[in-house]
Structure 1
């Protein structure tokens, strides 16, 4: 599991904010700043997607992790690391937005492996997002907790839905849903309300079965799942 997440093990504060995370990660090599990020990666047109902000003008709501621009550390597919890059995370497009040297909003077209918010102004500070899981390797998952045997990931699934309005054109709206996954045995196990369907992720461990029963664990609740995974990793 540790070699999969590549998450910032050298930052001890992450152990309290999102649980224990695997070793390696963004501090595995010298961080470069946002200027280096633009110079090295984004001068090449094939590494950048254009973005028209008017594309969402007629859609209510937001596809972003936050509507604010936030400072982040990012790690690309080639393991290059960049510090203090202003970004927005677009869950609908599975893209990272940035501003170029002229202040124009664009999207990173090359795969982003990891992203950590490092912005003290935001309640999202210290949260970590990873890609490379599931059918769509570009989708981002928040790393809720991680350990030697299993991890807990949260995916924000964002879609556009049309709602009929009497005597008016349909209204479009972004709708989001949090989906939790346990990552174990190199597989993703999707949340269910009935924990018995997730026992396989824990190799049918008798201790886990007893923990679920004794603590009335709800396997569609983040807090309960986090406690369950952390207990499993504790022995």
Structure 2
């Protein structure tokens, strides 16, 4: 009995230590973010200018157990985090496989990398997963830096332009879709009758990513 109590205490101790080791591993396997001059530019390179709490999983399986402060740079597709001790912005040495951002009112946005066979999208790029199942609805946000020199001005104006695309992936094949009824029903034509009924009953707002995801969630139940 004494041996069993010792073993039980040992496993309880290890269970409490392992999450801390994973968190420590995330912080030690990091490097300073490469500085890019975004001064005198209109807008922000980030998805959100402010830090958001969230969770990450690296390609080696290491993940955090306690929420971290995260930012996603949409210009260079880098997810960075804030070192609580120094306040420094750091990025992970090991690539990030997926991460979630926990927003106000309990909302969560989930992003993944590693998607293949999507034209123009590198496997390292992050796509937001709006619905996950036999059909996946993915959203791609990225920003480019646009330069123009106004007539009569000696300096160029630089601003961030955000681009958005939606992809529906079924059986590994990705199709570009628009956030509207016609486009989505055409891509999900094998269940169009059931989806028509669902849309008539539920009055989906096609400007809401959450409701777009619920539509594809419903498709995945059929």
Q: Deviations over 1:70-111 (max 9, x none)?
A: 221100011111132221111111101123453322323431
Question: Residues 47-126 of structure 1 correspond to what in structure 2 (within 5 A)?
Answer: 48=31, 50-52=33-35, 55-83=37-65, 84-100=67-83, 101-118=85-102, 122=104, 125-126=107-108
Equivalent-residue separation in structure 2 for 1:151 and 1:138 (angstroms): 18
| In structure 2, C-alpha distance between the alignment counterparts of 1:79 and 1:98, rounded to whole Å | 18
Choose 188-197 or 178-187, whichever is displaced more. Answer: 188-197
Question: What is the rounded CA distance, in whole Å, between the counterparts of 1:177 and 1:123 in structure 2?
Answer: 26
CA distance in 2, matches of 1:124, 1:92: 27
Contact kept in structure 1, 2:26 and 2:62, CA below 8 Å: no
Deviations along 1:56-82, whole A, 9 cap, x unmatched? 113211121211112211000111111
Q: Is the 2:23–2:63 Cα contact (8 Å) retained in structure 1?
A: no
- Provide the alpha-carbon RMSD of the alignment: 3.2
Distance 2:146 2:39 in 1: 14
Query: 2:174 is paired with a residue of what secondary structure?
Result: strand
Q: Does 1:161 align with 2:146?
A: yes
Distance 1:181 1:154 in 2: 6
How much has 1:34 moved relative to structure 2? Answer: 4.0
- The answer (yes or no) to whether the contact 1:95–1:109 under 8 Å persists in 2 is no
Which of residues 99, 110, 131 is equivalent to 1:145? 131
Runs (5+) with no aligned partner, structure 1: 1-29, 43-47
Unaligned runs of 5+ in 2: 1-17
When the two structures are aligned, how many residues end up with a matched partner?
194
User: Per the alignment, do residues 196 and 154 of structure 1 end up closer, same or farther by CA in structure 2, a change over 3 Å counting?
Assistant: same
